[in-house]
Amino acid sequence: MASSTVQAEPRGGVLVLQSLVKKYGSVTAVDDIALTVESGTYCCVLGPSGCGKTSTLRMIAGHEDVSGGDITLDGRSIAGLPPAQRSTAMMFQNYALFPHLDCTDNVAFPLKMRGAAKEQRRRQALDMLDMVQMSDYAKRRPAQLSGGQQQRVALARALIVQPKLLLLDEPLSALDPYLRTAMRAELKALQRELGISFIHVTHSQEEAMALSDLIVVMNNGRIEQSGSPQQLFNRPASEFVAKFIGGHNIISLDNARGCVRSDRMSYTAGGNSTVKSVEYLGRDVRVSVDSGHGPITITARESEFNSQPCQPGDAITLHWDQADVHHFDRQASH
C-alpha cells in the first residue's frame, strides 16, 4: 500500500444513521442510535462484545435487515437496497476469500458479478493487487497465503468496486500483534490516499485511538459517546467510556462520580491507602492501589517513581489536582 501521506479530496460518502434499531426477536441489539460520519473519515466503532457494533456495521453493509430507522449515504436512503447497490463494500473478519479462486479471480469477482468482460476485470484486478502490493501472488490461491496477505487481497476485492464507504469487521483481530500494528498503519494510509470513509469495528481501544478521526463507543446497543480520540480520552462522557478507554481512575465525588487520568495522580508515603502491586513498564511504572475510592492505578514516570519508590503493602496517600477531575456528563450510566 502506498505510504504517501497526501490526503485525497473526499470522494463523497456522508453516512447518516437515523434512529437505527435492530431487534432479534425480543432482544434489541441496536437501540435507536443516531450518527453522522462525514466523508473521508476514519471511524472506529468500539465496544465490548455484544454491544451492537457488528449488527450496526452489518446493517450499513446490507447483511442485516433494519428493524427501524434509516441509513442514508449522501442523502440517499440505502436501508432497503442489496449490498451491491449501496456504494459500500465490506471486508469480513476472516476475509472470506473464495477458496477455489486465485487472487486475481477473487479480486475480479465483484466485477464479474457486475458483468464486466473477462479481460477488463482481470486487468483492473491486477491493478488493485498492485495497489496492495500483492501482484506477485496473483496466481496463488487463498490457502497459499499468510493472514496478512489474505487481508490485502480481501482489501483489494472490497475496493475494486470503488465504494464510497469501506466497512471493516474486526479486520486486524486475526493477525499477530506485530502484523496488526503494521497493517494498522497501512489501513490508515490507504484511507487517507483514497479519501473515502472507513467504518472499522473493533473491540481494541488501542486500535481505535491509533486510527480514528472519529471514535464511536457503543454499549448495550446504544452509543455511549462519539468524538475524536482526544475528546474521548480527555472528556469521557460516562463512567463506562472512561473505563473502556482506559487510563482513567473512577473516583466518588460529593454526590457524583468523576475520573482522573492515571498519569495525573501522585502519592506520598504514609496514609490510609495501600499499595497492591507495582509493575515496571520501562518508561512508566504502574502502581495499583487500594483506596477509599476503590481500586486506583497510578502511572508514574520512571524517574518520578525512583525519587519516591514504594512496594506492595506500603501505606500511601493519593494526590490529584482538582483541575484534573473530570465530571461525567451522564451520571446514571453504570
CB of 61 to another protein, least distance (A): 7
Residues in the chain: 334
Separation of alpha carbons 291 and 299, rounded Å: 16
CB 299 within 8 A of CB 262: yes
CB closer to another protein out of 97 and 241: 97
CA distances for 194 relative to 12, 71, 104, 247, angstroms = 11, 23, 21, 33
CB closer to another protein out of 94 and 272: 94
User: Half-sphere exposure (CA, 13 Å, Cβ side) for 187?
Assistant: 31
CB closer to another protein out of 43 and 97: 97
CB of 184 to another protein, least distance (A): 22
CB closer to another protein out of 141 and 257: 141
CB of 113 to another protein, least distance (A): 4
- Interface with another protein by CB under 8 A: which residues? 61-63, 82-84, 89-90, 92-94, 96-100, 109-110, 112-114, 157, 161
Separation of alpha carbons 268 and 317, rounded Å: 5
CB of 99 to another protein, least distance (A): 7
CB closer to another protein out of 98 and 280: 98
Instruction: Give the closest residue to 241 by CA, choosing from 213, 198, 211, 205.
Output: 205
CB of 116 to another protein, least distance (A): 11
CB of 90 to another protein, least distance (A): 5
CB closer to another protein out of 38 and 64: 64
Tell me which amino acid residue 103 is: C
CB 228 within 8 A of CB 214: yes
CB closer to another protein out of 97 and 318: 97
CB of 78 to another protein, least distance (A): 13
CB burial readout 6-35, b (16+ within 10 A) else e:
eeeebbebbbbbbebbbeeeeebbbbebeb
CB closer to another protein out of 114 and 301: 114
CB 163 within 8 A of CB 135: no
Separation of alpha carbons 22 and 30, rounded Å: 5
Q: Alpha-carbon torsion 234, 238, 242, 245, what sign?
A: negative
Instruction: Give the closest residue to 167 by CA, choosing from 74, 33, 60.
Output: 60
CB of 221 to another protein, least distance (A): 22
C-alpha cell at 61: 453493509
Tell me which amino acid residue 85 is: Q
